[in-house]
């Protein structure tokens, strides 16, 4: 045996496996739990693509129209500002409605507010169409509230699929409630960072009883802060809040990897405690959809309850979808490589890190 051969035998060198969270041979190994991990990883990737850098574009714009005298109205038009940029939305009133004064624009930290007065003529705004140019290019909504001189109130939501509304003559309270329930569902489903946090909790929870405790804790926590923030008893600055929500996702990444490796921690043993603690933060995030609109206090209780019901419907629907997909493929006995179990933890952690860095940078720059 030559000296070169002996040296090669004694010093095998560092292989590619040294840098990977799995062995190359694991690529060809079958695991009973691989599909669950791969499924959740695919969902996480989908949420990431949907969110990109605009995870909070679901915060709605707001249009408030109040009749001051017969046929004349004051108009408040609020559009969200994201990463220092105003959403490309333009308010278009009917051609036969006249502006009584030039719009006055006020710049706030998280939005631009435009005020004006209009004259809709003797017939008012009933059955007239108000359009929102550019709304179809976004994933946000416009919450519209109209208050007549005789006390009648009307609430509606314009969406990208229908970027306009027609003012109705009257509206019942249950129609208003339905409007806010739908808005709550859309807010949670389009809030990719909230969904990614729930997905991270699903990866840590080990059994159905713990899942129930964890989901309940998250629900109670975000309901508390959603209520106190919407009713005006507390508030959280938007930029630090968004950074903290991203940090909550980053926190779950290493915990998911520990769970995959069979290790334990306080979070893995008591995920409901972590869900409650971070749920308080996420509740302030949910509240932004209502507090940014500036609704009158008289309408807040109905809006709060209805919106929270919508958030719960959306959250439970997402969890049910994940569990149903997991269960259906388990019945089919589809199995995937063991290395796939590592991907969700790294995906959740990477997205959390990206959003944390991005939002901290925005906070420093702003």
Distance CA 299, CA 3 (A): 86
pLDDT for residue 60 is more than 90: no
* Pair type for strands 164-166 and 129-133: antiparallel
Whether the per-residue pLDDT at 21 is higher than 80: the answer is: no
Spell out the residues 6+ positions from residue 119 whose beta carbon is closer than 8 angstroms to its own. 71, 72, 97, 98, 100
- pLDDT score, position 281: 92
Q: Work out the mean pLDDT of the chain and round it to a whole number.
A: 80
Q: Is the pTM of this model over 0.85?
A: no
Cα angle 79, 82, 84; round to 5: 105
Q: Which residue(s) pair with 91 in the sheet? A: 132
Provide the 10 A C-beta neighbour count for residue 285.
26
Q: Is 113 helix (H, G, I), strand (E, B) or coil?
A: strand
Give 56's pLDDT tier (boundaries 50, 70, 90): very low
Residue 169 banded pLDDT, cuts 50, 70, 90: low
Name which residue leads in pLDDT, 169 or 204: 204
pLDDT of residue 42: 55
Q: What is the DSSP letter of 339?
A: G
127-144 residue pLDDT tens: 889 999 999 888 788 989
Q: What is the mean pLDDT of residues 226-248?
A: 89
Confidence at residue 335, expressed as pLDDT on a 0 to 100 scale? 67
Is 210 exposed, middle or buried (CB count within 10 Å of its CB: 0-12, 13-18, 19+)?
Answer: middle
Predicted confidence at residue 178, as pLDDT, reads 87
| Alpha helix ranges (H) inside 52-131 | none
> CB count, 10 Å around CB of 360?
17
For the four alpha carbons of 356, 357, 360 and 361, in that order, the dihedral sign comes to negative
DSSP H or E segment with residue 175: helix 173-190
């Amino acid at each position: 045996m030559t000296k070169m051969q002996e040296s090669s035998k004694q010093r095998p060198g560092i292989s590619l496996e040294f840098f990977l969270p799995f062995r190359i041979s694991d690529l060809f190994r079958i695991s009973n739990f691989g599909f669950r991990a791969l499924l959740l990883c695919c969902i996480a990737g989908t949420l990431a693509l949907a969110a990109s850098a605009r995870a909070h574009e679901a915060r709605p714009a707001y249009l408030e129209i109040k009749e001051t005298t017969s046929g004349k109205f004051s108009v408040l038009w609020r559009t969200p500002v994201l990463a220092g940029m105003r959403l490309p939305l333009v308010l278009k009133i009917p051609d036969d409605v006249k502006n009584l004064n030039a719009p006055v624009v006020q710049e706030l930290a998280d939005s631009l507010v435009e005020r004006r007065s209009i004259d809709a003529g003797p017939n008012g705004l009933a059955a007239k169409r108000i359009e929102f140019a550019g709304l179809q290019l976004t994933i946000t909504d416009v919450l519209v509230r109209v208050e007549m001189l005789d006390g009648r109130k009307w609430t509606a939501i314009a969406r990208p699929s229908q970027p306009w509304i027609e003012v109705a003559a009257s509206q019942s309270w249950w129609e208003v409630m339905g409007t806010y329930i739908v808005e709550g569902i859309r807010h949670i489903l389009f809030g990719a960072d909230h969904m990614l946090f729930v997905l991270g909790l699903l990866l840590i929870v080990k059994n159905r009883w713990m899942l129930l405790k964890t989901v309940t804790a998250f629900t109670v926590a975000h309901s508390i802060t959603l209520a106190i923030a919407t009713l005006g008893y507390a508030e959280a600055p938007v930029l630090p809040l968004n950074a903290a929500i991203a940090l909550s996702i980053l926190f779950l990444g290493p915990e998911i990897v520990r769970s995959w490796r069979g290790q334990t921690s306080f979070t893995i043993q008591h995920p409901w405690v972590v869900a409650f603690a971070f749920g308080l933060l996420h509740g302030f995030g949910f509240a932004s959809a209502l507090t940014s609109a500036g609704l009158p206090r008289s309408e807040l209780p109905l809006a709060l309850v209805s919106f929270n019901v919508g958030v719960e419907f959306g959250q439970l629907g997402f969890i049910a979808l994940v569990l149903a997909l997991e269960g259906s493929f388990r019945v089919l006995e589809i199995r995937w490589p063991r290395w796939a179990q590592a991907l969700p933890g790294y995906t959740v952690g990477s997205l959390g890190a990206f959003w944390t860095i991005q939002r901290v940078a925005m906070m420093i720059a702003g």
